[in-house]
Amino acid sequence: MSIRYRITLLIALSFAAIFAIGAYAIFQAKSNATQVKNVTEKVVPSALAASDLVSQLKDVQLEATALVTATDKNIIDQVNENLTAKKAKLQEGIELQARQATNKAQQGLIRQIKENINNYFNAVDDTAKYKLAGQNELANANFYANATEFQRELGQIIETLRVEKIRTKDQAISALNQNLSQTATGISVVSIITILMLSVFGIILYRRIITPLRQMQTMMSEIATSQDFTRQVPVERMDEIGHSIVAFNMMIVKIQERSAELKQKTTDILAMLQNIPQGILTIIEDNKIHPEYSTYLETIFETRNMAGRDIMDLVFSNTNIGADALSQIEAVMGACIAEDVMNFEFNQHLLIGEIEKKMPGGQTKILDLSWSPIADDTNTIVRIMLCIRDVTELRKLAIEASKQKRELEIIGEILSVTQEKFHEFIAGSIRFIDENELLIRENPGHNADAIAYLFRNMHTIKGNARTYGLNHLTNIVHEAEQSYAELLKPRPAIAWDQATMMENLLAVKESVEHYARINELSLGRKGPGRRGNIDHYMMVEKRQIRETLQRLEKVNTSNLHELLAAHSSVQGTLRLLGTERIAEILDGVFASLPALATELGKEPPIIDIQDNGYVIHNHIAGLLKNVFMHLLRNSLDHGLESPGERLQQNKPAAGKIKLQMAAQDGMLQIRLGDDGRGLALARIRKIAIEKNMISSDTLLDDEETANLIFLPGFSTADKVTEVSGRGVGMDAVQNFVKRENGMIKIHFYDDKTGANFRQFEFIVSLPQIFSENVKGIDFHTQTTIDGILAELKFTEALPVAG
Amino acid sequence: MAQILVVDDSGTVRDEVCNFLRANGLAVASAMDGKDGLVKLKADSSIKLIISDVNMPNMDGLTMAEKIRTELNNSAVNIIMLTTENSPSMKERGKAAGIKGWIVKPFNGPAVISSIKKLSG
């Protein structure tokens, strides 16, 4: 049962009780009133009237007596008249008593009175009749004998009636009193019972309401204090309080969910702030930094404890921002915080997006700043959020990328021109430039002929450059040409200034030389055109240059990863320019081997090359050709045996020469070995002793002995042949390699220490910068090594475009 | 009949702001200082927005704003202050005088025009 019903019931019961008490009281009052009315209007007056009867009877008797004693006629008549009136009054009194008789005793008495009164009145009437007739004696006798007797009897009966009436009256009053007292008692008892009942009911109700309320209050206070939202208030009854508790518990569950969510979010935000590689802070009033900022900010600004610091000091001190711009930023923050969000719109254009800041460590960083307002429900800005990115690297890369782009464009331009024509163009341009240089030097002041000559020369260079599509160069030449064109005018807007003219010319010269350098070094197209192995140049196709350029143009310069990827891709493309495979570099050398073998009476050797993806910058191609020409001829001459000898040793008639490439410890290693008889250590020692390079008792291990061949003047050939001993010994070959910071070593790979012949290989080491590995280059457009290799082709120099 | 009243003692600033607003199709009136501003505002009930400098001779912008609210009993007109710097006390006074916004000089038209149109509409 719900509390509402209980309270309603209690009120209803109270009303019912009050109504019952009231009704009972009214009922009792009414019955008492009737009784009182009866007593006051009937019983008491009747008793008084009964008393009156006694005196009225006496009055009648006195009149009768007066009649008897009267002597005068007039008096007799008067007395008789009075007597008649008093008789009537007495008669009336008796009639009244007869009507008011309330019990049988009274009725009996009244009946006796009525009988006697008639006798009495008859006796009195007779007396009066006698008296009126003048019969005084008779009247006297009758009166005293009859009337008086009747009067005495009547008097006794009336007296009895009076006594009876008084008794009845006393009885009625007593009954009335008793009734009144009963009424009072009754009402009191009913009231007390009602009060008791209601009290008991009220107390029960009170307990039912207050006890759970108090429990609920205690629990709620505890939960509120402890903030332990996992607790629940127990529900004992499903009344209003029970429902309230259920609702409260539901609220607690929601609060717990919300607080868990909030906690999670706070944790997330904190984790984010701790781990995000970006500087994030918020600015509160007075331009102070809010304590919650991203940890990375400390890396960017190389400082700690930024909470509460002034933003102007932390971010904008030691920057390239002028004092006025700084005061604007400060004013904008002041104008925004605690103001409507509209103020941010008004002023955000004054908040600087990029700064260069000198850091405590001495480095200057380029920082990208992004500002945004944080507003509350009323659109009032509570904080300003500032995201800071260190874009130093990004900007550097972007500059690098634009340089690369220019480089690639120039390469593309050069590749579109045949080597021969390009060479002609460069040579011609240099000639014109030199002429102009001389002309400028010889003419400190304006000279019409000279300027016409200067202009013509420069115009020719520009025309050629434009014809060949060398756009970068054309632009630079155009500037110099324009200044000449101005000076050609009758009234030039610029002065003839030798220094400026030389400067312009120098720019053109540098640009031409830059093109020439790329052509020679990067593209390996030195000279008017290469005979023989021009086909073997490893070049990147024009298409790939174009694709790489497009990639650079599309790259999002604000995305470090994208920029890095593009950068490395372009780097890869650029690196491969002007590289060759060793097989191609040594192609001419290999080609000469069969003839040499025939000359030496040997089978042409089988060449096995494993380059493992390493390609070589072609500016050391010449060196490698010289070195390997010597080593390969040595191998054929001294190492590989004659076919007969080889067959005796169960070797195939044709010897095998193996060339392997690998990188180790920053060096490119080219290993050259053969399956011949090996290094003739005993013979080497003998020659060294003969040539007084060592004394006969010098103790040398195999490596030391082998290294004797690198000594100046050492030659193992019995006679200077066409083949090995061309007057260039191993010492010279070693020196070639050392000049490029490389080294040639002899490595034994058998275990026959001390033997006359030992299996060995030459290891030619060169700095790794002379090589690239095509397998290591990420082209992005290709996913497989094969794809990458397919992309790289041995191409011919491309024909002139258009 | 004007939508906007520009109050600035510098003729250059006044002209620049007025011309820009006019170019954007807004009806503009101008005043030379706070006192002048009060007179102009009283005379033209169509003014919805006042763009005012802070530091001016005769009567500064904040005092003008306060008088607009108290003496002219005009709480409807929007007021924006042009400023070079601001202090907490200035902002407090501004808030009390119902200043809607602060534009840090120089006044940059394109960035603020949409909000200005809203406030003067």
How far, rounded to the nearest angstrom, does the alpha carbon of residue A652 sit from its chain's CA centroid? 75
Rounded mean pLDDT of A90-113? Answer: 86
Confidence of residue A95 (pLDDT cuts 50, 70, 90): confident
More confident site: A745 or A527: A745
Which of A286, A331, A345 has its CB closest to that of B104?
Answer: A331
CB contact under 8 A, B87 and A339: no
Confidence of residue A1 (pLDDT cuts 50, 70, 90): low
More confident site: A412 or A708: A708
CB A366 within 8 A of CB A392: yes
Alpha-carbon distance of A88 to A60, in angstroms, equals 10
Give the pLDDT confidence of A278-292 residue by residue, as tens digits. 899 999 988 999 998
Rounded mean pLDDT of A660-679? Answer: 92
- Please count the other Cβ atoms lying within 10 Å of the Cβ belonging to residue A178: 11
Mapping DSSP onto H, E and C, the string for A374-390 reads: EECCCCEEEEEEEEEEE
Give the pLDDT confidence of B35-65 residue by residue, as tens digits. 999 999 999 989 999 999 999 999 999 999 9
Give the pLDDT confidence of A331-358 residue by residue, as tens digits. 999 889 988 998 998 898 889 999 999 9
Burial of A200 (0-12, 13-18, 19+ CB in 10 A): exposed
Confidence of residue A532 (pLDDT cuts 50, 70, 90): very low
CB contact under 8 A, A347 and B102: yes
Rounded mean pLDDT of A12-24? Answer: 87
* Nearest-CA distance B94 → chain A (Å): 10
- Of A36, A38, A49, the closest CA to residue A165 belongs to A49
A350 reaches B (C-beta below 8 A): yes
CB contact under 8 A, A346 and B112: yes
Instruction: Tell me what percent of the residues of chain A surpass a pLDDT of 70.
Output: 92
Buried b (16+ CB within 10 A) or exposed e, A603-620: bebeeeeebebbbbbbeb
Residues of A with Cβ-Cβ distance to B102 under 8 angstroms? 334-335, 339, 343, 346-347
Instruction: Look at residue A601 and give its three-state secondary structure.
Output: coil
Half-sphere exposure of A580 toward its Cβ, with a 13 Å CA cutoff? Answer: 23
Amino acid symbol at A125: D
Confidence of residue A792 (pLDDT cuts 50, 70, 90): very low
Measured over the CA atoms of residue A713, residue A716, residue A719 and residue A722, the dihedral's sign is negative
Residues 6+ apart with CB under 8 A from A414: A422, A470, A515, A518, A519, A523, A525
Alpha-carbon distance of B65 to B37, in angstroms, equals 10
A262 reaches B (C-beta below 8 A): no
Give the pLDDT confidence of A506-519 residue by residue, as tens digits. 999 999 999 998 88
Confidence of residue A172 (pLDDT cuts 50, 70, 90): confident
Residues of A with Cβ-Cβ distance to B105 under 8 angstroms? 328
Chain A, nearest residue to B87 by Cα: A334
**Can you read off the two tokens belonging to residue A743?**
């080294």
CB A797 within 8 A of CB A415: yes
What pLDDT is recorded for position A782?
Answer: 33
Predicted-complex ipTM score: 0.89
Rounded mean pLDDT of A242-261? Answer: 88
Q: Has residue B27 got a pLDDT over 50?
A: yes
CB contact under 8 A, A349 and B101: no
Mean pLDDT of chain A: 84
More confident site: B14 or A779: B14
CB A711 within 8 A of CB A731: yes
What pLDDT is recorded for position B38?
Answer: 94
Which of A327, A343, A348 has its CB closest to that of B85?
Answer: A327
CB contact under 8 A, A331 and B87: no
Residues 6+ apart with CB under 8 A from A466: A474
Rounded mean pLDDT of A385-395? Answer: 91
Give the pLDDT confidence of A712-759 residue by residue, as tens digits. 878 655 444 444 444 567 888 888 899 889 999 999 999 999 899 999
Residues of B with Cβ-Cβ distance to A347 under 8 angstroms? 102-104
Among the ranges given (A449-458, A568-577, A765-774), the one the predictor scored with the smallest mean pLDDT: A568-577
Residues of B with Cβ-Cβ distance to A286 under 8 angstroms? 88
Cα torsion at A275, A278, A284, A287 (round to 10°)? 140
A348 reaches B (C-beta below 8 A): yes
- For chain A, which domains are there? 3-212 (1.20.120.30), 269-390 (3.30.450.20), 398-558 (1.20.120.160), 578-794 (3.30.565.10)
Which of B80, B104, B115 has its CB closest to that of A332?
Answer: B104
CB contact under 8 A, A335 and B86: yes
Rounded mean pLDDT of A465-476? Answer: 90
**Can you read off the two tokens belonging to residue A100?**
């008011």
Q: Has residue A393 got a pLDDT over 90?
A: no
Which CATH number do you get for residue B84? 3.40.50.2300
* Nearest-CA distance B117 → chain A (Å): 12
Burial of A377 (0-12, 13-18, 19+ CB in 10 A): exposed
* Nearest-CA distance A346 → chain B (Å): 5
Residues forming a β-bridge with A385: A282, A372
CB contact under 8 A, B85 and A334: yes
CB contact under 8 A, B104 and A345: no
Alpha-carbon distance of A86 to A780, in angstroms, equals 156
> For chain B, what's the residue count?
121
Residues of B with Cβ-Cβ distance to A338 under 8 angstroms? 91
Residues forming a β-bridge with A772: A615
Alpha-carbon distance of A126 to A136, in angstroms, equals 11
* Nearest-CA distance B27 → chain A (Å): 20
CB contact under 8 A, A346 and B114: no
Q: What is the DSSP string of A671-702?
A: EEEESSS-EEHHHHHHHHHHTTSS-TT----H
A768 reaches B (C-beta below 8 A): no
Alpha-carbon distance of A248 to A251, in angstroms, equals 5
Which residue range is the domain that position B90 belongs to? 4-120
CB contact under 8 A, A349 and B111: yes
Rounded mean pLDDT of A785-801? Answer: 37
What pLDDT is recorded for position A296?
Answer: 92
What pLDDT is recorded for position A785?
Answer: 36
Buried b (16+ CB within 10 A) or exposed e, A459-481: bebbebbeebbbebbbebbbebb
Rounded mean pLDDT of A25-50? Answer: 85
Among the ranges given (A62-71, A490-499, A660-669, A696-705), the one the predictor scored with the smallest mean pLDDT: A62-71
- Please count the other Cβ atoms lying within 10 Å of the Cβ belonging to residue A168: 21
CB contact under 8 A, A345 and B114: yes
Amino acid symbol at A472: H
Give the pLDDT confidence of A578-611 residue by residue, as tens digits. 777 888 888 888 888 888 888 888 988 988 888 8
- Of A435, A530, A433, the closest CA to residue A473 belongs to A433
Q: Has residue A263 got a pLDDT over 70?
A: yes
Residues 6+ apart with CB under 8 A from A235: A242, A245, A246, A249
**Can you read off the two tokens belonging to residue A196?**
């008791």
Q: Has residue A262 got a pLDDT over 80?
A: yes
Among the ranges given (A293-302, A472-481, A525-534), the one the predictor scored with the smallest mean pLDDT: A525-534
CB contact under 8 A, B104 and A350: yes
Which of A328, A339, A348 has its CB closest to that of B102?
Answer: A339
Residues of A with Cβ-Cβ distance to B85 under 8 angstroms? 327, 330-331, 334
**How many domains does the structure of chain B reveal?**
1
Q: Has residue B11 got a pLDDT over 50?
A: yes
Does an H or E element contain A573, and which?
Answer: helix A560-576
Residues of A with Cβ-Cβ distance to B88 under 8 angstroms? 286
A335 reaches B (C-beta below 8 A): yes
Chain B interface, best mutation among A328, A341, A342, by max B CB count within 10 A: A342
What pLDDT is recorded for position A535?
Answer: 39
DSSP state letter for A340: B
Residues of B with Cβ-Cβ distance to A352 under 8 angstroms? none
Chain A interface, best mutation among B104, B115, B119, by max A CB count within 10 A: B104
Rounded mean pLDDT of A477-494? Answer: 89
Residues of B with CB under 8 A from a CB of A: 80, 83-88, 91, 100-105, 108, 111-112, 114-115
Alpha helices (runs of H) in A317-380, residue ranges in sequence order: 323-336, 342-347
CB contact under 8 A, B84 and A338: no
Q: Has residue A538 got a pLDDT over 80?
A: no
Which of B88, B91, B111 has its CB closest to that of A346?
Answer: B111
